[in-house]
Amino acid sequence: MKSLAIISSLAPLASALCYRDPSLHARSEFTPPSFGYTGLQGPLNWHGLSADNIACAEGTHQSPISIDTSAGNIPVVKGERLSLELDSYFFGTEVENLGTTVEVPANGTLNRDGKAYNLVQFHFHTSSEHRIDDETYAMEAHFVFRAEDQSLSVVGILIDVSSHGPTSRFFTNALSNVHDIPHAGDIGETGPLFSGEIEDLVSGSDVFQYNGSLTTPPCSEGVAWNVVRDPVYVSAKTYRAAKSVLRFNSRYTQNAPGEINLLQNAVETIGAANDE
Ligand SMILES: *[C@@H]1O[C@H](CO)[C@@H](O)[C@H](O)[C@H]1NC(C)=O
Ligand SMILES: *[C@@H]1O[C@H](CO)[C@@H](O)[C@H](O)[C@H]1NC(C)=O
Ligand SMILES: [Zn+2]
């Protein structure tokens, strides 16, 4: 009864939010993205856009990676160990086009190796950034968590397209109004987000864990990655709506953790070839 009372007291607020015109709510302080995914703005030149991005070219624990399940170098844990909990948003919540992704600020908690993290936001990539045994997926969602010491842990969920069979209500609703926010700085509303689906997915799946980096500049390392093995599905309609707004925003897979950065390797091998 108590929760019903809370829900009905929120109803007027929710209906007001439903009529928000995203174009009227574009943030005046919005700063355009400082990087992109094509040409000299793209991942092969992120280090050239700012001296702060040097880890993109020289880091040896960079993300994303292609996870080789037979190699055994990426530990697998049961997802229930993460104790993932997300808040639900019964009337939807804000979603913003950042120019490089579409992001939903949200709350939740995660526990990894005894360390507590709080959710900051989740966002999307097309196509997936991680690959499993070199298989790519249509999209990937990243749930970004931060600990009190400011270190980050990210839960990556692979999303594929299904022409029949069950689709993810959570991601379908997260993206249901994505066509309303086509431009960088646009802010809109998601549909209702029920967190149980994501909590159940993660707790019932194997999860690959490795120490990697941000997949966007400045490519900072020390990010504790959790890539959920079981994918979820959205309809072709949802995928195409998301793709038309997100465009291509996926960094190429990096060398295996601990191995030389592929850009550093290119510098050395091109230099050696020129010396011959
Ligand atoms: C997350 O929680 C904080 C603190 O309670 C609150 O101020 C904020 O509005 C919440 N964010 C969302 C998206 O609900
Ligand atoms: C990640 O790094 C931390 C600290 O360096 C270490 O304790 C942990 O075992 C590493 N985890 C993985 C999965 O490599
Ligand atoms: Zn991401």
Return the ligand 2 atom nearest residue 224 CA: 1
Q: How remote is the CA of residue 143 from the centroid of ligand 3, in Å? A: 8
pLDDT tens per residue, the chain (276 residues)?
334 444 444 444 333 333 334 444 555 678 889 999 999 999 999 999 999 999 999 999 999 999 999 988 899 999 999 999 999 999 999 999 999 999 999 999 999 999 999 999 999 999 999 999 999 999 999 999 999 999 999 999 999 999 888 999 999 999 999 999 999 999 999 999 999 999 999 999 999 999 999 999 999 999 999 999 999 999 999 999 999 999 999 999 999 999 999 999 999 999 888 877
Tokens coding 10:
């929120």
- pLDDT of res. 21: 41
Closest ligand relative to 151 C-alpha: 2
What is the distance between the alpha carbons of residues 38 and 180, in angstroms, rounded to a whole number?
24
Listed in sequence order, the residues at least 6 apart from 144 whose beta carbon sits closer than 8 Å to its beta carbon are: 119, 120, 121, 122, 123, 152, 154
Closest ligand relative to 224 C-alpha: 2
Residue bearing the CA closest to ligand 2, atom 6: 211
Return the ligand 2 atom nearest residue 222 CA: 2
Q: Which helix (H) or strand (E) holds 111?
A: strand 108-112
Q: How remote is the CA of residue 142 from the centroid of ligand 2, in Å? A: 20
The pTM assigned to this predicted structure is 0.89
Nearest to 199 by CA among 239, 161, 165, 168: 168
Q: How remote is the CA of residue 70 from the centroid of ligand 3, in Å? A: 25
What is the distance between the alpha carbons of residues 68 and 130, in angstroms, rounded to a whole number?
11
- pLDDT of res. 51: 97
What domains are there in the chain, each with its CATH number?
A: 42-259 (3.10.200.10)
- pLDDT of res. 25: 52
What is the distance between the alpha carbons of residues 170 and 201, in angstroms, rounded to a whole number?
11
Question: In degrees to the nearest 10, what's the CA dihedral of 260, 263, 264, 269?
Answer: 100
